[in-house]
Amino acid sequence: METIVKKPKKSILFEVAWEVCNQVGGIYTVIRTKVPAMVEKWNEDYFLLGPYFPQRASSEFEPITDLDDSPAGRIVGKMREMGYGVQYGYWLVTGKPRVILFDIAGSMHLLDQIKFNLWEQHRVSTIDTEELVNQVIVFGDMVRIFLQEFSAEYAKKADISAQFHEWMASSGLPGLRRDNVKIALTFTTHATMLGRYLAQNVEGFYNKLPFFDWEHEARHYGIVTQASFERQAAQNAHVLTTVSDVTARECEVFLGRIPDLVTPNGLNVMRFQAVHEFQNLHLKYKEKIHEFVLGHFFPSYSFDLDNTLYFFTSGRYEFSNKGYDLTLEALARLNWRMIQSGSDMTVVMFIVTKQPYYSINPDVLHSRAVLDELQETCTAIEKQVGEKLFLATASGTSHRMPDLNQFVDEYWRLRLRRTIQSWKTEALPAFVTHDLKQEDGITDFCRKANLVNNERDRVKIVYHPDFVSSTNPLFGLDYGQFVRGCHLGVFPSYYEPWGYTPLECVVRGVPTVTSDLSGFGDYIMQIMRDYENRGIYVINRKTQNYSQAADQMADILFKFVKMQRRDRIMQRNRVENISDVFDWTNLRSYYDTAHDLALKRKKP
Ligand code: G6P
Ligand code: 1S3
């Protein structure tokens, strides 16, 4: 008798996010860096779905003009026939995955009907929503229709999964579940809307967490629609995941469901073959930072650059959520301790964030320009002296060491004198590099604590209220290079579901400070014992009060300042060695587990 061997069903995965080809924040990093590991597993059966914003997409999206006869291509064609604007092509990032982008503007006229359905079918109120939420609503509905059409044609031939990130991609998820569409649905939240608001506004947020009433708070902060989308997506998905145990606790309270799984964030880690490579890069980029520091501080006073350490913090301007308040407090204490102990070290702290400003402070730009002029003049003099000295010595006109001054002509002497005159200043080096539109928590603190770059201060502040990019005239470095040139990244966040900034330090071999309230810090404490010895310092913000945490941090920073260069080099090696733990080829497995579980739960 002939046995019939059933062909295994094909598996297809759609990953849906607002930040596909559209960089806004951390979720872009998650999706983009995960692509190579996803393509490795899913090959042609992996698609990303995102919104279509022509200007943003132009630099990273390559359309496929001839719709192929593939299943996805056919559904794109079908949606176009239905009157929707849908783009199909490649995302031009490592891994080059196929993406389907939905033109929201072209379907905005459907908004009222979609809102009506959301109320009718899911009791989500969408009255008077802001423009961004309206876009999200239209996007969510287009995603829903695409997946519904896809499933109608292919669910018999393939196991279909959809991975949704954050509420902004998921307003159509409850509809898919309601209509029993044959797709396994996983929803991952990267924060909770309410957690973010409440952590910023309610003192003792974590102690009060179990007692919040989500609906009451959502109404209070005017975010009922957003919170409802998040809650409904979480409750209707076959599997709910979040990025850390810290956020899992919020999900229970605000979303009414304990996540099935934690899916920690990784990076596409690319390490050098030779260990010393990244150490060489540290030196190279540190020298670029030296140039800035020389130009910025030395017109007022000088210090020993060889005994100078560069600390930095960076991220969106959320003063207490990102721990800028604690960082400044700890730095003020560190400054005092360094002065008291007569330390010969200097710490320059860079605060890199984004705040409204008019322009770069003209004085800061001026000293940078004068430094370049000084360098040019010295190089010209060096060349002139070299050439003339060579001639004098070769022609044998002098048997004794000649007076080098005679080789510099009048023009260069004058030019050097003038440059030196415009170089020196009585004023203190600015602690903000830009003219801010208004004072903020950082400037307030620095003024009150008198942490304003006085000569005797051992901790200097450079507040740069703009993100670092290679076109920036002050540093001339991109963010990654800037990180490499520093000695320590400082991120003791109060509210941080995961937090990529410390991880970005780790993979570049730069030690970092994090907190046990950040997802990353919490995860490190779970998987590693000797994290501090390896250069990851975790501030205890869970059980210590603000002042105790500031003291712990000042201790850590002071200890770091006292380390010898040899120890710093070894510590950089140890921290860089951790990188592989966070490579997506290892961390993808958490998402694989979530998708397998969703498929199991979807089956009748
Ligand atoms: C790297 C370089 C060394 C250099 C060191 C400076 O390790 O390979 O040549 O001495 O950086 O380290 P530091 O911590 O003082 O910036
Ligand atoms: C969120 O972005 P955020 O900075 O608004 O998602 C990120 C990626 O999961 C996460 O790293 C971060 O902590 C969250 O807050």
The label of the residue with tokens 């003209």 reads 362
ipTM, two decimals: 0.96
Q: To which H or E segment does residue 186 belong?
A: strand 184-189
How many angstroms separate the CA atoms of 357 and 134, rounded? 30
| Alpha carbon nearest to ligand 1 atom 5, residue | 283
The label of the residue with tokens 């974590």 reads 206
Determine the pLDDT at residue 263: 98
Ligand 1 pocket, 573 CB below 6 A? no
Going from N- to C-terminal start, the domains of the chain cover 10-268+587-602, 275-361+430-582
Determine the pLDDT at residue 380: 87
Determine the pLDDT at residue 130: 95
pLDDT at 274 over 90: no
Q: Ligand 2 pocket: which of 242, 317, 498, 591 to mutate (most atoms <8 Å of CB)?
A: 498
Ligand 2 pocket, 30 CB below 6 A? yes
Average pLDDT of span 500-507 = 97
Question: 424: Cβ–Cβ under 8 A, 6 or more apart, which residues?
Answer: 299
Reported as a pLDDT band with limits 50, 70 and 90, residue 69 is: confident
- Chain segment 553-594, per-residue pLDDT in tens: 999 999 999 999 999 999 999 999 999 999 999 999 999 999
Mean pLDDT taken over the chain = 94
How many angstroms separate the CA atoms of 585 and 35, rounded? 10
The residues that bridge with 239 in the sheet, in sequence order, are 186
pLDDT at 2 over 70: no
- 10-268+587-602 architecture in CATH? 3-Layer(aba) Sandwich (3.40)
Determine the pLDDT at residue 398: 59
| Alpha carbon nearest to ligand 1 atom 7, residue | 279
Reported as a pLDDT band with limits 50, 70 and 90, residue 255 is: very high
Determine the pLDDT at residue 132: 97
- Chain segment 313-347, per-residue pLDDT in tens: 999 999 999 999 999 999 999 999 999 999 999 99
Q: Closest ligand 1 atom, CA of 306?
A: 15
pLDDT at 213 over 70: yes
Average pLDDT of span 57-65 = 91
Contact call for residues 91 and 20 (beta carbons, < 8 A): yes
Q: Ligand 2 pocket: which of 32, 193, 353, 500 to mutate (most atoms <8 Å of CB)?
A: 500
How many angstroms separate the CA atoms of 223 and 215, rounded? 9
Determine the pLDDT at residue 486: 98
- Chain segment 351-409, per-residue pLDDT in tens: 999 999 999 999 888 888 888 888 888 888 888 888 888 888 887 765 677 788 888 88
Average pLDDT of span 501-513 = 97
CATH superfamily label, 275-361+430-582: Glycogen Phosphorylase B; (3.40.50.2000)
Ligand 1 pocket, 566 CB below 6 A? no
Same fold, 10-268+587-602 and 275-361+430-582: yes
The encoded tokens of residue 471 equal: 């076109």
Q: One-letter amino acid identity for 369?
A: A
Q: One-letter amino acid identity for 316?
A: R
Annotate 38-102 with three-state secondary structure: HHHHHHHHEEEEEECCHHHHCCCEEECCCCCCCHHHHHHHHHHHCCCCEEEEEECCCCCCEEEEE
Determine the pLDDT at residue 220: 97
CA 565 / ligand 1 centre spacing (Å): 7
Ligand 2 pocket, 315 CB below 6 A? no
Q: Closest ligand 1 atom, CA of 569?
A: 7
Q: In the chain, pLDDT over 90 holds for what percent of residues?
A: 83
Ligand 2 pocket, 79 CB below 6 A? no
DSSP labels, 317-363 = S-TTTTTHHHHHHHHHHHHHHHHHTT---EEEEEEE----EEEE-HH
CA 518 / ligand 1 centre spacing (Å): 30
How many angstroms separate the CA atoms of 267 and 580, rounded? 9
- Chain segment 25-56, per-residue pLDDT in tens: 899 999 999 999 999 999 999 999 999 999 98
- Chain segment 121-176, per-residue pLDDT in tens: 999 999 999 999 999 999 999 999 999 999 999 999 999 999 999 999 999 999 99
